[in-house]
A and B are shown apart, each in its own frame.
Chain A
């Protein structure tokens, strides 16, 4: 009951404060424009005086270029927005005093956190559905129909990758009182992941491998990145559990 009340409030807040709109517009924009950019980039290059030679060596764009553009753009901006939209979810409530106001009521702290994560998960899922539909439409029009099942799987893998950063930032938002510090710590995790991904052995376990896997779904003969998926789901669960363990004893 209290979880549903909190979830309702979180969804209302995301809608009323325009965060949902920003996420939907950004992801939909990149969803729709990525296939278009893949298609017109060689034509744009050939129209630049002096760049004809470069344009002539660029191969004719394919459906894989459209998918690659979509995955790269939507993932980059999705992760960035995951950090920006989550960084204040707990830190700002503690700082402003709304957390004290609400947690002095029969609202379990675990429910308070879980409602925030669930709301972000639903919002990211909804916006990815929107972006995916937009991108699918333009890909069909410009390149032909991609495999629908692979398209859905691709978006689900991107969703899981984004949720890793939602969960991590939520954890940092519990840990520190400043929104900027919470986002900064998440950026630190991204940098650490980038550094350790130099090792191919380690890279296969990192969430970023999900992004590569999502493109590979359209190319035959590439191994699925199950270890990365399990590690990502584990990171989400561990971040939420750690956030709860700290938050339940934290003084507000």
Chain B
């Protein structure tokens, strides 16, 4: 296993930031560590990097016990949520400094610096001071410095939260390209990012791991087929009563009503396909939209963290 934690706990005063976290991450995979704000994602990463110490429990990164800090730190790359740099340096100087800390020989260091700056799209600003960089540029430089030592395990704390849509897409592409080269452990609260790049997912809430599984398995296990319907303006009242009446049908699991929209979760797709529209026609409801909803990780997430409407 690339990452393994066993009953990991971290307590700050009376606050349990981590409450017995046990998880495993397979080598070479991209692992999405999902959770709402304050769930314990950053704390987990800080413990794995040695920047914080567990109250109890054990953890191993790249096969090394996290208490053997020097062995761990030489094999990991870490991108904090808000990467900080020596702003008086240029990106080239910063990567060179990081390379020196890892003891990379001068020729290799220079080549790796150049390669990484090109890879993250900072080649043209290699001689500019970091102090003038935007958040997106800093995030990309953060990824470059985390890759300097060709780590076995890459720990990314909310790597795309500061980026615009184009920057986010580029960064996710870079992360996806790392699959097979190293193990990526990526914390985020953005579900679409996880869906896009992660092989496996762990969902954490209140410091506890709620579930951990390959993404598809999670979807199969937790999502039920659903249909979404939207009525025309003026038919809201009739639509709402119709939606409530729908709950009594045997093939309906749940109906979520929100203004002119109804989301109908079903346990028998075929029965729903045959009867749902017929029910709408029978009641004479003017329909604007009807679609079979593809189950998303968001459904799983909301279901697991207990926030489903």
Interface residues of A (CB under 8 A from B): 1-2, 4-6, 8-9, 12-13, 16-17, 96-98, 100-108, 249, 251-252
Question: Quick one: CB contact mask for B65-94 with A, threshold 8 Å, 1 for yes?
Answer: 000001001101010101111101100010
Contact B80 A100 (CB under 8 A): yes
Complex contact B83–A105 (CB within 8 A): no
Do the beta carbons of B88 and A106 come within 8 Å of each other?
no
Residue of B nearest to A107 (CB): B101
| 11 A/B residue pairs, CB under 8 Å, sorted by A | A5-B97, A8-B100, A13-B88, A16-B88, A96-B84, A97-B83, A101-B83, A106-B70, A106-B103, A107-B73, A251-B53
CB neighbours of B97 from chain A (8 A): 5, 8-9
Return chain A residues, CB-CB under 8 Å to B100: 1-2, 4-5, 8
Q: Which residues of chain A come closer than 8 Å to B29, judged between CB atoms?
A: none
Chain A residues near B74 (CB, 8 Å)?
A: 105-106
Give complex CA distance A96, B74 in Å.
23
B84 A2 Cβ-Cβ under 8 A = no
Rounded to whole angstroms, the CA-CA distance of A87 and B177 in the bound complex is: 43
A4 — which chain B residues lie within 8 A by C-beta? 100
Residue in A closest to B103 when the chains form the complex, CB atoms: A1
- CB-based contact B84/A101 at 8 Å: yes
B52 x A251 contact (CB < 8 A)? yes
B51 touches A104 (CB 8 A): yes
The 7 closest A-B pairs by CB, nearest first: A97-B84, A5-B100, A104-B78, A104-B49, A106-B74, A16-B88, A251-B52
Which of A2, A100, A104 is packed against the most chain B CB atoms within 10 Å? A104
Complex: how many Å from CA A98 to CA B89?
12
Q: Knowing A5-B100, A251-B51, A251-B53, say if A97 contacts B80 (CB, 8 Å).
A: yes
**Contact A105:B102 (CB < 8 A) given known A100-B51, A251-B51:** yes
Given A5-B97, A101-B84, A106-B73, 13 further pairs, Cβ under 8 A: A2-B103, A9-B86, A12-B89, A17-B88, A96-B84, A98-B85, A98-B86, A104-B49, A105-B98, A105-B102, A105-B149, A106-B70, A251-B51
Interface flags for B93-116 (1: CB within 8 Å of A; 0: not) read: 100011011110000000000000
Give the docked Cα–Cα distance between A103 and B103 (Å).
15
Chain A interface secondary structure, helix, strand, loop or mixed? helix
| A240→B78 CA distance, assembly (Å) | 28
Beta-carbon contact of B101 and A252 below 8 Å: no
With A5-B101, A105-B101, A105-B102: A100-B84 Cβ-Cβ less than 8 Å: yes
Q: Is the CB of B53 within 8 A of A249?
A: yes
Number of A-B pairs, beta carbon distance below 8 Å: 70
Chain B residues touching A, majority SS: loop
- Determine the distance from Cα of A106 to Cα of B71 in the docked complex, in whole angstroms: 8
- For chain B, the bracket of interface size reads 20 to 34
Q: Does B145 touch A at the CB level, under 8 Å?
A: yes
* B145 CB contact (under 8 Å) in A8, A101, A251: A101
- Using known A-B contacts A108-B70, A249-B53, A252-B51, determine if residue A2 contacts B101 with beta carbons closer than 8 Å: yes
Q: How close is A98's CB to chain B, nearest CB, in angstroms?
A: 5
CA distance A17 to B86 in the complex (A): 11
Q: What are the residues of chain A within 8 A of B98 when measuring CB–CB?
A: 105
Contacting pair A105 B80 (CB below 8 A): no
Q: Give the CA-CA distance A5 to B98 in the complex, in Å.
A: 9
- B28 an interface residue at 8 Å Cβ cutoff? no
Which residues does chain B contribute within 8 Å of A105, judged by CB atoms? 73-74, 78, 98, 101-102, 149
The distance in angstroms between the C-alpha atoms of A102 and B86, with both chains bound, is: 10
Query: Is B50 interfacial (CB-CB < 8 Å)?
Result: yes
Find the A residue at minimum CB distance from B145: A101
Chain A nearest CB: distance from B40 CB in Å?
15
Q: CA of A6 to CA of B101 in the docked complex: distance in angstroms? A: 8
CB distance from B64 to the nearest CB of A (A): 12
A102 partner residues in chain B, CB cutoff 8 A: 101
The answer to whether A103 touches B101, judged by C-beta atoms less than 8 angstroms apart, is no
Taking CB atoms, residues of chain B closer than 8 Å to A17 are 88
User: What are the residues of chain B within 8 A of A96 when measuring CB–CB?
Assistant: 84
B residues within 8 A CB of A107? 73, 101
Task: Give the chain A neighbours of B51 by CB distance below 8 A.
Answer: 100, 103-104, 251-252
With both chains docked as a complex, state the minimum distance between the C-beta of A17 and any C-beta of chain B, in angstroms. Answer: 6
Which of A13, A16, A101, A108 has a CB less than 8 Å from the CB of B80? A101
Please give the distance in Å from B184's CB to the nearest CB on chain A: 16
Q: Per-residue CB proximity of B184-208 to A under 8 Å, as 1/0?
A: 0000000000000000000000000
Residues from 23 to 50 in B contacting A, C-beta threshold 8 Å: 46, 49-50
Residues of B within 8 A of A104 (CB): 49-51, 73, 76, 78
Given A97-B83, A98-B85, are A106 and B101 neighbors across the interface (CB < 8 Å)? yes
Tell me the complex Cα distance, A6–B51, Å. 18
A85 CB to closest chain B CB (Å) equals 15
